[in-house]
Amino acid sequence: MKTDTKILSLYDVFLIAGVVVTNIVYSVLTGSIDMIGSLAGIAGVCCVVLVAKGSIWNYAFGLVNVSLYAVISYKAALYGDAGLNALYYLPMQFIGWWQWRKRGAATSKSASTEPDHDVRVKARRMTLKQRIGLTVGSAALVFAGGLLLEHLGDPQPYKDSATTVLSIIAQALMALAFMEQWALWIITNVISVVMWSVCVAGGEEHAGLMVIMWVFYLLNSLNGLRVWMRLSKGRP
């Protein structure tokens, strides 16, 4: 039976077009053009949309996003996010590409010798025991990270720790093609919207565009969970 290899749905186009238009409107309203913030946000939304679709090309846009976001986070004194992107997300773009190729994702339909081959990654699910371990371990690491960042003077230690720790775990689950990554992404996105909103109130550069980016991330993660529940059905 022929599989659906269509990449972008109308909802995906809405997300990408939405973040582009919102960035333009933001620039008009503020009277300034933030090229770094806009490029990071647009590349990031393109990346997560393609992740939700199971397309390996997400890593090309991810490379641009994480590089710029590391700089933006460092300037906002969000050192957990800055370190996460520079030291973890950046190399994980290459590791993820390699892992997804191993799990069946292709760069084009013609890359497969089978005419009906689905170019998307073969998603899978965790067992109940693995999910319990994931929950307990994540909570413990977030608390420990918050204590460390508080000691280092981070202005939002526990929010920063949560986004850092949960993103590290979610990125690893993403590279291994586990559906449960989306639960962590949803939590991370909600916290990130709150965290960057606080930065907006404090007048941090790029913060407004980061709020916009994370709102679109959240919308995509909800859709990603729906899509990956279907892609991973029957694949432990």
**pLDDT tens track for 51-106:** 888 888 999 999 999 999 899 888 888 777 788 789 988 999 999 999 888 877 66
| Chain center to CA of 127 | 23
Model pLDDT, residue 2:
38
Q: How confident is the model at residue 159 (pLDDT cuts 50, 70, 90)?
A: confident
229 DSSP assignment: H
Looking at this protein, which amino acid is placed at residue 139?
A
- 0.75 cut: is pTM over it? yes
Chain segment 4-17, per-residue pLDDT in tens: 445 678 889 999 99
Q: Is 234 left (phi over 0), alpha (psi -120 to 50) or beta?
A: left
